A and B are shown apart, each in its own frame.
Chain A
Amino acid sequence: MPRKICAAAIVTAIGLTGEAWAGTISPDSVEFEDGAIAASLTGVAGNAETGRKVFANRKQGNCLACHQNEDLRAEPFHGEVGPMMDGVADRWTEAELRGIVVNSKMTFDGTIMPSFYRTTNGARPLEKFEGKTILTAEQVEDVVAYLLTLKD
């Protein structure tokens, strides 16, 4: 009986990080080229509408904590720590944007920006986040799809 519970718990845990789905590239097997990632992590294109929500949500991307963005002006409290997101799709390609969201340190050495799809971040992670990525592969693709809509 306890074994079953344990197995069920593992299944949910894997489900939550979204790594169980076939075709999804796991955080350890992401391949970078000059900081960019060519292929979609999920094999399919993300959903920009969902990505917009992930970008603003404090428990998910919380990108607004650091980046201002005209498109989300109705949301209170934009941060000033990172560059403005307006026109970001004119400055970076899809592959570069994916690379920045997955692991910003591959593009910006020593940046404050968190790496959203990496399991080996800073020391002493809170237990409930240990070994987990900040965003799932789907969420990363959704955010990338959203960023691609931000053109001047």
Chain B
Amino acid sequence: MRQLFAIAAAAGFIAASAQAGPGPDEDQLEIDGLKIVTEVKAPDDHPLDVIYSGWRFRTDETQSLQMDDFENPAMVAVEYGIELWDTPAGTSNKSCADCHGDVEDMAGLKAITPKWDEAAGAPLTLEDLVNRSIKEHQGGEGWKWESAEMLAMTALIGMQSRGMPVNVQSDGPMADWVEKGKDLYYTRVGQLDMSCANCHEDNNGQYIRADHLSQGNTNGFPTYRFKWQGLGSLHRRFSGCMKNIRAQPFKRGSDEFTALEIYLATRGAGLGVESPSVRN
């Protein structure tokens, strides 16, 4: 009965939705011949049976935009990223390309970040790594977390890992960070008093008003969202989810959000990197 009603409601009101109803759909993601894993059997100690990419919870229309780079609205930013990669800047007057060569050499990086950094004694996100290189090697200022430049560069570098399985280190010095992220994931916050788990673990596959809840995986970031009319970072998404439950978000780039990012990456291990993905 509940399901029937949901299907009727979705068909009537969510014009864009072709595969309404609970749960992920059966569609398979392929971009220009590259198959991307959107479904992995979860390990035994995982709270879910099967891990799904958020792509599997989106409408056919949204899904199709991500299946073709000519239609993917994030590609404008990727173009800008290429321009930045090749433009000399900073006191060194060198471009990223001058030191790193082709950006394709960055393949694999997105799949393993945040990664432990011995010198920093902390894990570094992709944003941290970009800024460190700009500051230490290029002699520049670094970019703001949510700036057009940072989003363009993380989208471009992220894209080089497309299809590679998310594989962030969770043991050794990272174990504490995984634990910390897990704590945050299960802590109820905000006036609405909810945890990430309430929505993304307990109720994924259900509609919460107009939104089809996914498992909240991170393999697609940075993401182009219609709501944002542009690219946004994972930490922006965290911030939005917290504000929705009327909680004061942590700052982008904070230890808290980095810990959440690490924990979520370990929860979604094995999913293919989709950066830059398209979501509503």
B191 contacts A134, CB within 8 Å?
A: yes
Map CB proximity to A onto B178-209 as digits: 1 under 8 Å, 0 otherwise: 00000000011111111000110011001111
A78 contacts B189, CB within 8 Å?
A: no
B193 contacts A114, CB within 8 Å?
A: yes
Question: Is there a chain A Cβ closer than 8 Å to B48's Cβ?
Answer: no
Q: Which residue of A lies closest to B212 (CB)?
A: A80
B247 contacts A126, CB within 8 Å?
A: yes
Partner of B189, one of A124, A127, A132: A124
B192 contacts A122, CB within 8 Å?
A: yes
Instruction: List residues of chain A with CB within 8 A of the CB of B191.
Output: 114, 121-122, 125-126, 129, 132, 134
B192 contacts A114, CB within 8 Å?
A: yes
A68-B9 contact, Cβ under 8 Å, with A79-B209, A124-B189: yes
Question: Is there a chain B Cβ closer than 8 Å to A106's Cβ?
Answer: no
Complex: how many Å from CA A41 to CA B6?
A: 34
Complex: how many Å from CA A129 to CA B248?
A: 10
Question: Is there a chain B Cβ closer than 8 Å to A84's Cβ?
Answer: yes
A126 contacts B208, CB within 8 Å?
A: no
Q: Which residue of B lies closest to A105 (CB)?
A: B193
A80-B193 contact, Cβ under 8 Å, with A68-B2, A122-B245, A124-B248: no
Question: Is there a chain A Cβ closer than 8 Å to B119's Cβ?
Answer: no
Q: How large is the interface on B (under 10, 10 to 19, 20 to 34, 35 or more residues)?
A: 20 to 34
The SS class assigned to the A binding surface is loop
**Chain A 72-106 interface residues, beta-carbon cutoff 8 Å to B:** 76-81, 84
Q: Which residue of A lies closest to B22 (CB)?
A: A80
A122 contacts B9, CB within 8 Å?
A: no
Complex: how many Å from CA A75 to CA B202?
A: 25
Instruction: List residues of chain B with CB within 8 A of the CB of A58.
Output: 209
Q: How many residues of A contact B (CB 8 A)?
A: 26
Q: How many A-B residue pairs have CB under 8 A?
A: 96
A81 contacts B5, CB within 8 Å?
A: no
B209 contacts A77, CB within 8 Å?
A: yes
Instruction: List residues of chain A with CB within 8 A of the CB of B6.
Output: 68, 78, 80
Instruction: List residues of chain B with CB within 8 A of the CB of A124.
Output: 189-190, 242, 247-248
A78 contacts B192, CB within 8 Å?
A: no
B13 contacts A76, CB within 8 Å?
A: yes
Question: Is there a chain B Cβ closer than 8 Å to A65's Cβ?
Answer: yes
Q: Which residue of A lies closest to B195 (CB)?
A: A122
Question: Is there a chain B Cβ closer than 8 Å to A123's Cβ?
Answer: yes
B206 contacts A79, CB within 8 Å?
A: yes
B188 contacts A122, CB within 8 Å?
A: yes
Complex: how many Å from CA A112 to CA B191?
A: 12
Question: Is there a chain A Cβ closer than 8 Å to B41's Cβ?
Answer: no
A122 contacts B206, CB within 8 Å?
A: no
Question: Is there a chain A Cβ closer than 8 Å to B1's Cβ?
Answer: yes
Question: Is there a chain A Cβ closer than 8 Å to B144's Cβ?
Answer: no
With A65-B208, A122-B187, A124-B189 known, 17 other A-B pairs at CB within 8 A are A58-B209, A64-B209, A68-B2, A68-B5, A77-B207, A77-B210, A78-B9, A80-B2, A80-B206, A121-B193, A123-B189, A123-B190, A124-B190, A125-B246, A126-B247, A129-B191, A129-B246
Could you jot down 13 A-B contacts, CB within 8 Å?
A68-B5, A76-B9, A78-B5, A112-B203, A115-B193, A122-B190, A122-B194, A124-B189, A125-B189, A126-B191, A126-B247, A129-B191, A134-B192
